[in-house]
């Protein structure tokens, strides 16, 4: 069966249009999958950082209720994958007469965790006064 040349040309063009449309669709889907993957990774990282910041606030709140002694120690892992270290040091402040002020401590709490193969950390430092 011999089709006229113009009809065969139209059928070939339709096939070419379908192939181009499928290629564009595949590119769009691939871009959406990549964007979803990146947004999920960013969401997981943000969740870890927010958890670390909440933990830092909790550690500082617990220290408000204790007697401070200059020291440096690690807090055991609570199962969340975050470890905390607490450093308490006597702050060296002086008044207008250059007399050292007693009872002022600088407390630094550090949260550490693993993000894939990289080590991540956040610090929170606060001054405490205990007469």
Overall average pLDDT of the 23-40 stretch: 97
In whole angstroms, what is the distance from residue 76 CA to residue 82 CA?
Answer: 9
> What span, in angstroms and rounded, lies between the C-alpha atoms of 72 and 85?
7
pLDDT for 115 equals: 79
Mean pLDDT of 81-93: 91
Higher pLDDT: 94 or 80? It is 94
Quote the domain boundaries for residue 125: 5-129
Predicted local confidence at residue 95, as pLDDT:
87
| Number of domains within the chain | 1
**Average pLDDT of span 45-65:** 90
What's the pLDDT at 82?
Answer: 87
6: left (phi over 0), alpha (psi -120 to 50) or beta: alpha
**Residue 43: band (very low, low, confident or very high) from pLDDT cuts 50, 70, 90:** very high
- pTM for the predicted model, two decimal places: 0.70
């Amino acid at each position: 069966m011999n089709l006229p040349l113009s009809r065969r040309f139209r059928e070939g063009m339709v096939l070419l249009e379908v192939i181009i449309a499928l290629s564009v669709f595949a590119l769009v889907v691939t871009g959406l999958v990549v964007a979803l993957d990146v947004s999920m990774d960013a969401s997981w990282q943000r969740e870890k950082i927010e958890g670390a910041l909440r933990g830092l606030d909790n550690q500082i709140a617990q220290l408000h209720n204790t007697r401070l002694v200059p020291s440096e120690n690690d807090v055991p892992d609570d199962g969340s994958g975050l470890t905390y270290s607490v450093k308490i040091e006597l702050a060296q402040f002086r008044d207008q007469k250059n007399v050292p002020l007693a009872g002022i401590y600088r407390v630094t709490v550090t949260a550490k965790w693993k993000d894939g193969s990289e080590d991540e950390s956040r610090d929170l430092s606060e001054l405490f006064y205990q007469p």
